[in-house]
A and B are shown apart, each in its own frame.
Chain A
Amino acid sequence: DAGVIQSPRHEVTEMGQEVTLRCKPISGHNSLFWYRQTMMRGLELLIYFNNNVPIDDSGMPEDRFSAKMPNASFSTLKIQPSEPRDSAVYFCASAPLAGGLPYVEQYFGPGTRLTVT
C-alpha cells in the first residue's frame, strides 16, 4: 500500500493568495483527518470526515479555511486568503471504520510544509 499521499510537500506563497492542499487516503479507509502542526500550538485537529461527510470542524480556525471530500479517495484543505500566521505543517491522516466502529490507529501522511510570506 502506498500510504497516505499528500501534495504538494512544500508550498511557498504570498499573503492573500489561495492555497489548496491535497490528500489521498489509504484505499479502504473511510475516515479522514486534517491536522496542523506549529511550534507554538503543537498538533491541532482541524476537521475530520467519515464516509466523505464532515463530522467535526470545530478545529477549523476561521472562515478562511475550508475542507472538502468529494469522494472516498480525495480531500482538499483550502485557505483563502492566506496569511503569514497560517505557516505550518499540515498533515492528513486516514483510518478504517470497521462495521461502523471507530478505528484504533490513524495513519499519517508526510505532511505539507506551508510558508506564507
Chain B
Amino acid sequence: GDSVTQMEGPVTLSEEAFLTINCTYTATGYPSLFWYVQYPGEGLQLLLKATKADDKGSNKGFEATYRKETTSFHLEKGSVQVSDSAVYFCALKDQGAQKLVFGQGTRLTINP
C-alpha cells in the first residue's frame, strides 16, 4: 500500500540555519503530495502542496519539489526562525482517493 517515510526527529537548529526535512513516498498511482505543520497545541495546517511531478510548492519561505524519479518531496527553508518550531508532516493522497497517508512527523526546534 501507499506509505510515506520522513526523516526521524527531533531536529534542532539555530536561528537562520538552513533546513532540510527528507520525505520519500511509495504509491501505486500519481499522488498529490503535501506538507502539513502542527504548532504546539494546535491542529494541522497545510503548509504547501504539489499535485504533479516537477511541481514546486512554496509558502512562508518553505519549498518542496515533487520528484517522481526519486519519489521524494523534501522540505527546505533557507533561513529558519524560532517561530518555525513545530512538528512537520509529509503526506500523500492518491489520485481519485480521499484518504491522506501521513508520515510519522518530524519535530523541529529552532533555538535563538
Q: Are B99 and A109 in contact (CB under 8 A)?
A: no
Q: Mark B3-20, 1 if CB is under 8 A from A, else 0.
A: 000000000000000000
Least CB distance from A116 to B in Å reads 20
Q: Mark A91-117, 1 if CB is under 8 A from B, else 0.
A: 101010000001111111111000000
- Among A45, A103, A108, which residue has its beta carbon within 8 angstroms of that of B43? A108
Provide the residues of chain B in CB contact with A61, threshold 8 Å. none
- Among B41, B43, B49, B98, which residue has its beta carbon within 8 angstroms of that of A102? B98
Taking chain A's interface residues, is the majority helix, strand, or loop, or is none over half, making it mixed? strand
Q: Are A108 and B100 in contact (CB under 8 A)?
A: no
Provide the residues of chain A in CB contact with B102, threshold 8 Å. 42-43
Q: Are B45 and A108 in contact (CB under 8 A)?
A: yes
Provide the residues of chain A in CB contact with B27, threshold 8 Å. none
Least CB distance from A94 to B in Å reads 11
- Among A42, A56, A91, A107, which residue has its beta carbon within 8 angstroms of that of B99? A56
Taking chain B's interface residues, is the majority helix, strand, or loop, or is none over half, making it mixed? loop
> What size tier do the contact residues of chain A reach?
20 to 34
For residue B89, CB closer than 8 A to chain A, the reply is yes
Provide the residues of chain B in CB contact with A109, threshold 8 Å. 43
Provide the residues of chain A in CB contact with B103, threshold 8 Å. 42
CB-CB contacts below 8 Å: A58-111 with B: 91, 93, 95, 102-111
Least CB distance from B36 to A in Å reads 8
For residue B61, CB closer than 8 A to chain A, the reply is no
Q: Are B43 and A42 in contact (CB under 8 A)?
A: no
Least CB distance from A65 to B in Å reads 18
For residue B22, CB closer than 8 A to chain A, the reply is no
Q: Mark B89-111, 1 if CB is under 8 A from A, else 0.
A: 10001001111101111000000
Provide the residues of chain A in CB contact with B41, threshold 8 Å. 110
Q: Are A102 and B105 in contact (CB under 8 A)?
A: no
Besides A102-B96, A102-B97, 20 new A-B residue pairs in contact (Cβ under 8 A), listed by A number: A4-B43, A31-B98, A42-B102, A42-B103, A43-B102, A43-B105, A48-B98, A48-B99, A50-B98, A55-B98, A56-B99, A93-B44, A102-B93, A104-B32, A104-B49, A105-B46, A107-B46, A108-B36, A110-B41, A111-B42
